[in-house]
Chains A and B, each alone.
Chain A
Amino acid sequence: KQEVTQIPAALSVPEGENLVLNCSFTDSAIYNLQWFRQDPGKGLTSLLLIQSSQREQTSGRLNASLDKSSGRSTLYIAASQPGDSATYLCAVRPGSDDKIIFGKGTRLHILP
């Protein structure tokens, strides 16, 4: 059974710092991995989608990497800003069907 773990559960960093959020999954057979952002009381915004054949994706200040063999993904945020404060969710789509499995998220707080 696929399980997705995100560490840390919460993180506070000063504005301007670069930071890394971690995601690990137990079964390396995946179709893709997706990083989402969720603001309080809101739905999810897709940030980056990495296909199983890819190693990384970049969008602006965000870079996500995927190492299937070790069951790990990282989300790198460069030059953090207060507006980056949110919960970041990692989600894995298993190889067998459409259902995606979420981690519990990392609550990020960027200190002005």
Chain B
Amino acid sequence: GAVVSQHPSWVICKSGTSVKIECRSLDFQATTMFWYRQFPKQSLMLMATSNEGSKATYEQGVEKDKFLINHASLTLSTLTVTSAHPEDSSFYICSASGDRTNQPQHFGDGTRLSIL
């Protein structure tokens, strides 16, 4: 089945550091990728939608200058948390879907980000 790979799975860094998270679709072309944030025992909150070759669409309340998204190819999207602070600590999950309307979304295993 379709596989989405997310890297790294866990990162700890100092406040002020920028962190890049990669999301790759391994066996299909992902025209659309989604980035979610999840707090402990909460459901997923959509942060942004990215389409290959175009600018990401951010959800209300998500700072686009803080969370930079690049979707340069049909198999790779990246999320960069710029100048991360402790309040950015969270579980970040990406998902990808193909080019047909009723295709399921496939999720990566998530990245746990801890900012000291």
Q: A residues within 8 Å of B by Cβ?
A: 31-32, 34, 36, 41-46, 49, 51, 89, 98-100, 102-105
Contact = CB atoms under 8 A, between A and B. Distances in A.
A80 to B, nearest CB: 22
A22 B104 CA distance: 20
B104 A46 contact: yes
A27 to B, nearest CB: 17
B102 A43 contact: no
Where chain B touches its partner, the secondary structure class is strand
A61 to B, nearest CB: 18
A104 B45 CA distance: 10
Contacts, number: 46
Interface of B: 6, 32, 34, 42-44, 46, 49, 91, 93, 95, 97, 101-102, 104-110, 112
Given A99-B49, A102-B43, A104-B43, A43 B101 contact: no
Contacts of A31: 101-102
Nearest to A9: B41
B43 A103 contact: yes
B106 to A, nearest CB: 7
Contacts of A49: 102, 104
A41 B110 contact: yes
A94 B59 CA distance: 16
B43 A43 contact: no
27 contacts: A31-B102, A32-B102, A32-B104, A34-B104, A34-B105, A42-B109, A43-B93, A43-B107, A43-B108, A43-B110, A44-B44, A44-B107, A45-B107, A46-B105, A46-B106, A46-B107, A51-B102, A89-B44, A98-B34, A98-B97, A99-B49, A102-B43, A102-B44, A103-B43, A104-B42, A104-B43, A105-B43
